[in-house]
Amino acid sequence: MDRTSIQKIFTGIFLIACIIFGVNKLTTDDSGILNFETGTGSSSRMTYGRFLEYLEMGWVNQVDLYDNSRNAIVQASSPELGSRPQSIRVEIPIGASQLIQKLKDYNIDFDAHPTQKQTLLMMVASNLIIPFIFIGGLIFLFGKSDNLPQNSGSSPMSPLNAGKSPARFDPRPDTGINFSDIAGIDEAKAEFEEIVSFLKEPDRYTRVGAKIPKGVLLVGPPGTGKTLLAKAIANEANVPFFSVAGSEFVEMFIGIGAARIRDLFTKAAENAPCIVFIDEIDAVGRERGSGIGGGNDEREQTLNQLLTEMDGFKENKGVIVVGATNRVDILDGALLRPGRFDRRITVGLPDRSGRIGILKVHAKNKPLAENVSLDQLANRTPGFSGADLANLLNEAAILATRYKKEIISNNEVNEAADRVIGGIAGTSMEDTKNKRLIAYHEIGHAIAGSVIPDHDEVEKITLIPRGGAKGLTWFTPDEENQTLISRSQLLARITVTLAGRVTEQLVFGDTEVTTGASNDLQRVTTIARQMVTRYGMSVIGPIALENDDSPVDYDNKLANRIDTEVCKIINHCENVAKKIILDNRVVIDLAVEKLLDVETLDGEEFRNIIESYTVLPRKIN
């Protein structure tokens, strides 16, 4: 027997185990929604202990108890789950009867579902399962598929529902989400508002011969509000809402994925007008023939079925398919052709005003102190997605609860931001020579950052370790500096980053320099190298010697020249940093004493200290 057939048998055994497990746990609730997915199911699990931790952290939104409270499906969202609500399955050990009390204490929405009695019919049915298992196993072993499944653990899988669509269906969606809950992605919102008005009054459009898109593709990084948008249109238009993840169609049996797509669209047509939301559509929509090993029959069939279904309705009778993906580049071209996903909407990371809007949305239900400035928080958080921002405010609320406060003050908001950006704080260091050295290092960064006009302002300096760093200096990033950065700004960044180590050197002597600056040096090297190889900012000239996708080939001689130029930039900046530190030695000593005393200085306090001394502005070129 060769290796693949052995592998197949093993996977076969695995599958069988899943079926046995799955059928026993299969229950549906009143709305017909599948609650317990099978062993292969997409819902993840966590241990009871972990679940208690989640409770404590305030990450649990809702709990459904089954089987006399022996199993639970937990709706939770946490930073480690990407801050999106997810269903997680928890097995509750016998004797966890205090759980319900706990849930009450934490004010968690929960529901206990009655156990279904094992009827005679069920017992007969469960005896029938054995033949199913054998048949299933046989089909698997001798199935037509030549390829091993690439994704074998994705969706509810039992002989009983194999060809059924795994989509969650909500006939009267009260998702509770309105367009007013979405901020920072105005273009996408406008597009969707139009779709809503079509769903409400289709005649207005058809009268003037306007065709409405069948498919809308939302493209953007995770957490930017794509799911939120889809929920909002369903809610605002008050039409049924189907939602499913692309990976739930990816199966190991040929034809099952396609059957599920067919089933989904049949149901959708019956319920039109309605919205079908397919998250991670790239899982089905991946370019054909690009799978490992040259192609995957199952996935191609699934994709073909999707294409057929979308072509099927010549005129849009009201089924609007909304797809979401982060990887439009790997989608099959056929999906993007007119008549299918003919509208593509980019949902990007929010800019500063977008972030302010999103923060306002999520601050609505939170009692914030008057001095909390969402504008300032938005300044600190470039590159944050909507989900990150929601998480940040939630974290602040948790901290406020922990400190037994009625309202969330600036303190909690700042601490939450520090945590999210820099990691969890450790305990502060003993007063040793090391602590003094770190204080000099950080003040070195801060002084250089304040002296050079092209650099961002100091936000905060701290000696409290956080996320692996022993001390930290934060700068308030300037929004404009995020996209178009000038040469002098890059030089400023290099100089400021080097200034920490330079200060160690000048104050404590060459022999005392520590390993603490390795991170700084890495960053410096990356910036300097990019200046030479990408931005044409050296005497080598305006040539792109490297880019994201393909490294450009160059010979040894050129490689040496690049290295020389990188060194030149770094050496130059190091000299500038030395000069700055020497010129400001007095004020550095003063600031270090203050910092050792209080451990954390905010930007304002730091500027007050250095203001009374002359700090020479210095432009680097």
In the complex, the residues that contact Zn ion under the rule CB under 5 A are 500, 520
Cβ atoms within 10 Å of 334's Cβ, excluding its own = 17
Q: Least Å distance between CB 602 and ligand ADP?
A: 28
| Single residue of 15, 264, 349, 361 touching ligand ADP by CB under 6 A | 361
Work out whether 225 is an interface residue with ligand ADP (CB under 6 A).
yes
Q: Binding string to ligand ADP for residues 111 to 140, with x set by CB under 6 A, is what?
A: ------------------------------
Q: Of these residues, 298, 442, 459, 574, which one is catalytic?
A: 442
Q: Which candidate, 197, 193, 262, 201, places its Cα nearest to that of 232?
A: 193
The site that binds ligand ADP (CB under 6 A) totals a number of residues, namely 18
Choose the contact partner of 500 out of Zn ion, ligand ADP, none; CB within 5 to 8 A by kind. Answer: Zn ion
The radius of gyration of the chain from alpha carbons, rounded to an integer in Å, stands at: 29
Residues facing 277 on adjacent strands: 243, 322
227 part of the interface to ligand ADP, by CB under 6 A: yes
CB of 275 to ligand ADP, least distance (A): 14
DSSP strand pairing (457-462 vs 472-476): antiparallel
Q: Which of 185, 252, 310, 331 binds ligand ADP (CB under 6 A)?
A: 185
C-alpha 359/C-alpha 381 separation (Å) is 11
153 binds ligand ADP (CB under 6 A): no
Site string for ligand ADP, 277-316 (x = CB under 6 A): ----------------------------------------
Question: Does residue 442 carry a catalytic annotation?
Answer: yes
**Least CB distance from residue 434 to Zn ion, whole Å?**
14
Residue nearest to ligand ADP (CB): 386
Give the one residue of 19, 74, 182, 233 binding ligand ADP; rule: CB under 6 A.
182
Residue closer to ligand ADP (CB basis): 284 or 387: 387
Spatial distance between the Cα atoms of 337 and 329, rounded to a whole number of angstroms? 14
Pick what 22 binds: Zn ion, ligand ADP, none; C-beta below 5 to 8 Å, kind-dependent: none
Give me the amino acid identity at 489. Answer: Q
- Of residues 299, 329, 307, the one with CA closest to residue 215: 307
DSSP track, 530-572: HHHHTS--STT-S---B-SS-BPP--HHHHHHHHHHHHHHHHH
Secondary structure of residue 373 in the 3-state scheme: coil
Cα 399 to Cα 151, 248, 619: the distances in Å are 40, 37, 42
213 part of the interface to ligand ADP, by CB under 6 A: no
Is 224 one of the binding residues for ligand ADP (CB under 6 A)? yes
| 226 interacts with, out of Zn ion, ligand ADP, none, CB within 5 to 8 A per kind | ligand ADP
Edge-to-edge strand ranges of the sheet holding 600-602: 472-476, 457-462, 600-602
Can you tell me the distance from the alpha carbon of 8 to that of 253, in angstroms, rounded to the nearest whole number? Answer: 13
Query: Among ligand ADP, Zn ion, none, what binds residue 223 when CB lies within 5 to 8 Å by partner kind?
Result: ligand ADP
Binding flag, residue 84, ligand ADP (CB under 6 A): yes
Q: Least distance from C-beta 495 to Zn ion, angstroms?
A: 12
Cα-based distances in Å from 150 to 37, 296, 378: 20, 9, 41
| From 374, 390, 397, 496, residue interacting with ligand ADP (rule: CB under 6 A) | 390
- Candidate list 184, 273, 449, 471; residue touching ligand ADP; CB under 6 A: 184
Among 39, 58, 136, 386, binds ligand ADP (CB under 6 A): 386
Q: According to CB under 6 A, which one of 63, 228, 396, 413 is a site residue for ligand ADP?
A: 228
Which of the listed partners (ligand ADP, Zn ion, none) does 228 bind, with a CB threshold of 5 to 8 Å by partner kind? Answer: ligand ADP
Angstrom CA distances, 551 to 1, 346, 534, 545, 559, stand at: 43, 28, 11, 8, 12
Tokens of 582: 């020497």
Structure tokens that stand for 472 in this block: 């930290």
- Residue 222 interacting with ligand ADP (CB under 6 A): yes
* Residue 528 beta carbon to ligand ADP: minimum distance, rounded to whole angstroms: 35
Please state the separation of Cα 283 from the chain's center in Å. Answer: 17
> In the block, which residue shows the tokens 């190091």?
574
Alpha-carbon distance 549 to 47, whole Å? 41
Of 10, 72, 66, give the one whose Cα is nearest residue 45: 72
Q: Is 358 in the site for ligand ADP (CB under 6 A)?
A: yes
CB-nearer residue toward Zn ion: 290 or 434: 434
Catalytic residues: 442
Binding site for ligand ADP (CB under 6 A): 84, 182-185, 222-228, 324, 358, 361, 386-387, 390
